[in-house]
Structure 1
Amino acid sequence: MTAASQTPPTGGEIRSLTGLRIVAALWVVVFHFSFTPGDTYADLWEPLQPVVRTGALGVDLFYVLSGFVITLTYLDKMGRRPSPRRMLSFWWARVCRIWPVYVVVTTLFGAWLLYKATQVTDGFVAYQLEQPDVDVWHYLQQLLMVQLWDQPFFDGSSWVGAAWSISAEWLAYVLFPVAVLLLWRLRSAPAVVTGALAVGAMVPLAYVCFTTGEPYFAWSWALRIGAGFLAGAFTCLAVRRISVTPRVERIAAGVAVLAVVEILVGLWWGEWRGQGEGEYGGVVVLAFPVLVGSLALSRQGLSRVLSTGPMVHGGRISYSLYLVHIPVFEIFWTSMGWTPSIAPGSGLAGFLIPQVLLFTVLLAHLSYRYLEEPARLFLRHRGPGRWARADRPARPGTPVPPPRAEQPAEVPAPAAALVPAPARAGAARTARHPRSRVDA
């Protein structure tokens, strides 16, 4: 292997994709923030409406990222036929990543909903079209992250409204060992084949958006997680088959820019077609696997921007941001209705609104620093995840590498996090695509 030809990424953190996570998270956050009562900042929001109104698509971008990262990290670990021990290790790693902050936020917000129920008479306790059931049985469902699995619509399924996507993604994790049976057999397929499958997986959702502008129907959440996760997985298979050269990096950097341009054009087209109604701009999901794959193959252009320290840190706190923003917003919105001094349209409300957004980001940072990451490390070293190292004996004569410090990847995000796979390339690839060891 020469310096001009590198192997594609096989594991570890791809910093540009970590940085992309905060873009997806903020897309969702701004979408929800736009529902803040009052019109104090309506003039500022208006030019951005094509992007703001379609912020729910950030969840679909999370799903593509999740499918890519999970496949990149775990496909080789799972092997042709995942053993029960490896499946258990995988599931435990996912629990360690997504469950601690999820259960804390869900429990605290559930307590808020119970309190609010004692203060209102109209039964409107959560800012959802269908009110969630807050009782012991549904609390157990929330804790197990299965509250969505038997529901055709996600409205009212989760106490924290946005957490429906966590339940959907947990289902994808549970089924991932089954998907491995297919992905393993496609791992050597030409990149053009798996790349076409990646874009093709998003076609059903794009078609619904293009024809109806209404991508919410019975079990649409299952289509979204299935399409997004598989699209990310197929994208990963395509990327693994491409040798990274300077020319490939230049092309990938250009494709990434083109994908972003097409996404923006598609969103403005959807706004024009729907005249401010509907979600015709959802057709842009076709570009999500293209964007993720091109960013993974290059360190230039957009990849360089997304790989900067602030963007990567934003990606790492994105999961906490995704979970905490709804409780913060809803408590603030309720306070606006209860407290005349911060009523919608008041001067004090206008001052506090941007502060609430900044506070949400700060809270996400604190959640990641003092809850999400410490809890993940604590659980990983005390559960079945530690069995993976003992699952397969080393070959005779193979030196045992010293333990390395683990560093968080994020996620899935909306979602999912990056989990390291053993590095299989030499120093040349490492020099070209430096990775930090990360874990989910």
Structure 2
Amino acid sequence: MGVVRTGEIKALTGLRIVAAMWVVLFHFRPLIWDASPRLKDDLAPLFNAGAQGVDLFFILSGFVLTWNYLDRMGSHFSGRATMHFLWLRLSRVWPVYLVTMHIAALWIIFTLHVGTVPSPDVEKLTAISYVRQLFMVQLWYEPFFDGTSWDGPAWSISAEWLAYLLFGAIILVIFRMARVTRARTLLLLAFAAALPPTVLLLASGHFYTPWSWLPRIVAQFVAGALACAAVRRLRLGRRGQLVAGFASILLTAAIVVILYYYDANPVPGMVDPGGVVDLLFMPLVVTLAIGVGSLPALLSTRLLVYGGQISFSLYMVHEIVHTSWNWAVQEYHIDLPKSVQKFVVIGLIAAAVAGAMLLYHSVEEPARRWMRRMVDFRDVQHDVHTGPPAAEGSRLASIDHARDARPPQSSARAG
């Protein structure tokens, strides 16, 4: 079945902060455009598609979870292993989710008692909504994700939680497919699995349609899982790794080119052309996972890996910062010159990053260790001595040095 690899893939950890910042810039667009109209002319095609960063997260999630759990959970079903997996996933996302959920609720209450502009989300604060938010199922009852969560980005965590609950069954199928299927076929299947959201976009012209969140999470998550199964079967020499690294640069450039092309040449009836680039996310993740060279090396730097580690906290806290400022502008009729607005936007993004760092070090990591200790003390003891966490919270040794140390082979084989 090829070389079985385990451990953190640093380039994918670094890719997480890129996806998170893409979403952040998407939400901060109106403030950025007001501060600098020229940036709107230059960067609107890229920033307007920032919502696609969520789909990149979905693919990364399916890939990394399969990377870490295929051998542990794929050979046979185990209720104990599945519950252990779900608890570890809960320990990874629930603490920050709960904190930001309650911060968002307190903010909504604050606007009721201060000033004259209550939050438009006041009607969301109901008992049944609280229970749904608490158990991360608020999205499951709604065809559209807008307005489902007190903290806006939390809708995707509700979608991810559904994928986690299905993972025990998905991994059984992926494991058996991987045993009898060549790597190139698995890659084709992964590409096919990622198609539904784009097919729906091409059919309707809209990426955001009733219940569209469901094929987004299922398709992209499964595509990431299949792509991981393919990568685990690949045997690449140094030349193949260099080619993959160069291909990751070409794919990144292609994503940017496509976004600008559709901006300059709009398709009649297509409202969300940026969704087309979703088709390149799976190949991008694969090439970064197996490649070496400039882009994989850049994403593997200590700064970007740290950014990847705090990316979840950034994703969860940035919209609270954004919403708070918008409320202050409306409540106090703030009208600043553009020269000052630029510094305000930079300050708000810096505040979101600082909040993410605070959440990561004071909530995310301590709570994750505490919850893991409840089910596996030895894992936590091992964590303390093995350095920074993997992208999905499983602390495994980095594969990057081992991969680079392998003697080069004359050819790359699949299968």
In the superposition, the TM-score normalised over structure 2's length comes to 0.89
For residue 272 of structure 1, report the CA deviation from its aligned partner: 2.7
Distance (whole Å) between structure 1 residues aligned to residue 103 and residue 360 of structure 2? 16
CA gap of 1:31–1:275, structure 2 versus 1, over 3 A, is: farther
CA gap of 1:298–1:135, structure 2 versus 1, over 3 A, is: same
- Picking from 48, 55, 59, the partner of 2:50 is 55
Other-structure match for 1:186 = 177
RMSD of Structure 2 on Structure 1 (CA): 2.7
* Residues 1:290 and 2:290 aligned together: no
Other-structure match for 2:71 = 76
Q: What letter matches 2:168 in structure 1?
A: P
CA gap of 1:38–1:31, structure 2 versus 1, over 3 A, is: closer
For residue 351 of structure 1, report the CA deviation from its aligned partner: 3.2
Other-structure match for 2:146 = 155
Please show how residues 300-379 of structure 1 align to structure 2 within 5 Å: 300-340=293-333, 342-343=334-335, 345=337, 348-379=340-371
1:4-57: CA deviation from partner (whole Å, max 9, x where unpaired)? xxx756221100000000000000000000133972222223211111000000
Please show how residues 65-104 of structure 1 align to structure 2 within 5 Å: 65-104=60-99
Other-structure match for 2:385 = 405
Distance (whole Å) between structure 2 residues aligned to residue 84 and residue 117 of structure 1? 46
Distance (whole Å) between structure 2 residues aligned to residue 268 and residue 69 of structure 1? 30
> What SS class does the counterpart of residue 140 from structure 2 fall into?
coil
CA gap of 1:125–1:171, structure 2 versus 1, over 3 A, is: same
> What SS class does the counterpart of residue 368 from structure 2 fall into?
helix
For residue 237 of structure 1, report the CA deviation from its aligned partner: 0.6
Give the conservation status (yes or no) of the 8 Å contact 2:52–2:274: no
CA gap of 1:125–1:74, structure 2 versus 1, over 3 A, is: same
Other-structure match for 2:412 = none
Q: What letter matches 2:306 in structure 1?
A: H
Please show how residues 254-269 of structure 1 align to structure 2 within 5 Å: 254-269=246-261
Q: What letter matches 1:203 in structure 2?
A: L
Distance (whole Å) between structure 2 residues aligned to residue 428 and residue 114 of structure 1? 52
CA gap of 1:344–1:132, structure 2 versus 1, over 3 A, is: farther
List runs of 5+ in structure 2 lacking aligned partners.
408-415
* Residues 1:21 and 2:16 aligned together: yes
Distance (whole Å) between structure 2 residues aligned to residue 219 and residue 148 of structure 1? 10
Give the conservation status (yes or no) of the 8 Å contact 2:197–2:216: yes
For residue 325 of structure 1, report the CA deviation from its aligned partner: 0.1
CA gap of 1:347–1:430, structure 2 versus 1, over 3 A, is: closer
Q: What letter matches 1:64 in structure 2?
A: I
For residue 283 of structure 1, report the CA deviation from its aligned partner: 1.0
Distance (whole Å) between structure 1 residues aligned to residue 54 and residue 65 of structure 2? 16
1:48-97: CA deviation from partner (whole Å, max 9, x where unpaired)? 11110000000000001000000000111113222111011100000110
Q: What letter matches 1:288 in structure 2?
A: F
- Picking from 217, 221, 240, the partner of 2:209 is 217
For residue 155 of structure 1, report the CA deviation from its aligned partner: 1.3
Which region of structure 1 is more displaced relative to structure 2, 263-272 or 182-191?
263-272
- Picking from 188, 196, 199, the partner of 1:204 is 196
Distance (whole Å) between structure 2 residues aligned to residue 369 and residue 421 of structure 1? 19
In the alignment of these two chains, the number of paired residues is: 403
Q: What letter matches 1:329 in structure 2?
A: H
Distance (whole Å) between structure 1 residues aligned to residue 4 and residue 350 of structure 2? 35
Other-structure match for 1:240 = 232
For residue 418 of structure 1, report the CA deviation from its aligned partner: 4.4
Give the conservation status (yes or no) of the 8 Å contact 1:201–1:227: yes
Other-structure match for 1:30 = 25
Other-structure match for 1:394 = none
Which region of structure 1 is more displaced relative to structure 2, 205-214 or 66-75?
205-214
* Residues 1:252 and 2:244 aligned together: yes
> What SS class does the counterpart of residue 6 from structure 2 fall into?
coil
1:158-196: CA deviation from partner (whole Å, max 9, x where unpaired)? 001111001000110011001112111112210111100
Give identity over the alignment, percent: 38
Distance (whole Å) between structure 2 residues aligned to residue 357 and residue 420 of structure 1? 29
For residue 385 of structure 1, report the CA deviation from its aligned partner: 4.7
> What SS class does the counterpart of residue 355 from structure 2 fall into?
helix
CA gap of 1:159–1:98, structure 2 versus 1, over 3 A, is: same
Q: What letter matches 1:16 in structure 2?
A: A
CA gap of 1:122–1:275, structure 2 versus 1, over 3 A, is: farther
Give the conservation status (yes or no) of the 8 Å contact 2:190–2:223: yes
CA gap of 1:194–1:377, structure 2 versus 1, over 3 A, is: same
Which region of structure 1 is more displaced relative to structure 2, 89-98 or 212-221?
212-221
List runs of 5+ in structure 1 lacking aligned partners.
1-6, 390-400, 412-416, 434-440
Distance (whole Å) between structure 2 residues aligned to residue 275 and residue 345 of structure 1? 36
For residue 122 of structure 1, report the CA deviation from its aligned partner: 7.4
Is the helix fraction higher in 1 or 2?
A: 2
For residue 228 of structure 1, report the CA deviation from its aligned partner: 0.9
Other-structure match for 1:397 = none
Give the conservation status (yes or no) of the 8 Å contact 2:117–2:327: no
Give the conservation status (yes or no) of the 8 Å contact 1:317–1:410: no
Other-structure match for 1:419 = 394
